Amino acid sequence: MSNPTAAMLVIGDEILSGRTRDANVQYLAGALTNHGIRLAEVRMVADSQQAIIDAVRVLSDGFDNVFTSGGIGPTHDDITADSMAAAFGRPIGIRDDARAILAARCEATGNELNGARLRMARIPDGATLIENPVSGAPGFTLGNVHVMAGVPAIFQAMVALVLPTLAGGDPVMSQSLRVLRPEGEIATPLAALAADFPQLSIGSYPFQKDGIFGANIVIRGTQAAAIDRAMTRLAALFPEAIA
């Protein structure tokens, strides 16, 4: 598929310690798929400036778009903005437009625009702000890197604002069939089917539940007619399957 590509960088000790289960990868993956952008790689790194810098440079070079989540709040462990500035050699400081957003937000909520909150107005030079309709503090786009919050509600709102600005490709469609037979029984005809449809991606995702082994067969691609043809063949191969 020649659709644009993307990578995601999840920043946060809480994911790597096992304390928190990431929710943003799946959300972004689905949104990108619908927009015709292929999520090609995800990396999760700790709250370490060097780890963030190394990862974002590689991903920015390797993919059309990069989305980061986490580390843009006001606390000492929020080091994403400064790490992005360092990664791309940009100066960083409190920017007037970001400060104005935070000031308006504080006025509306009766909070003080203190030094900690002003940290959230630190934006690398040349970046474009991403609005945060939930809690005010903006994200930003620097080059092809979109820097967003880790809190899922805010992350999702920012994705919704950024995606329409990005070139998409043909939406990737999928159909699936649930087969209650072990993968070892279906692998050979499935491989032949996959070979006959090189323009499609045919995946087999096994499961076992209550001692029953089965697989979800998922056919993905940008050509609806080809997916239909492949699904017809698939259903004929495994007539007992549950769609």
- Of 84-143, binders to a second copy (CB under 8 A) are 111, 114-117, 119-120, 134-135
Touching a second copy, residues 208-227 (CB under 8 A): 208, 213, 215, 218, 220
Dihedral sign for Cα 192, 195, 197, 203, please.
positive
Q: Which residues contact 193 (CB under 8 A, 6 or more apart)?
A: 202, 230, 233, 234, 237
Q: Identify whether the C-beta of residue 200 lies closer than 8 Å to the C-beta of residue 219.
A: yes
Question: Is 50 an interacting residue with respect to a second copy (CB under 8 A)?
Answer: no
Task: Measure the CA–CA gap between 25 and 151, rounded to whole angstroms.
Answer: 12
Smallest separation, CB 126 to a second copy (Å): 26
Touching a second copy, residues 141-200 (CB under 8 A): 151, 153-154, 172, 174, 182-188, 190-191, 194-195
Question: Is 82 an interacting residue with respect to a second copy (CB under 8 A)?
Answer: no
Three-class SS state of 125: coil
CA nearest neighbour of 113 among 98, 103, 123, 126: 103
**DSSP 8-class letter at 119:** G
The residue (of 140 and 155) whose beta carbon lies closer to a second copy is 155
Q: Which of 15, 127, 142, 241 binds a second copy (CB under 8 A)?
A: 15
Touching a second copy, residues 60-79 (CB under 8 A): 73-78
Smallest separation, CB 65 to a second copy (Å): 14
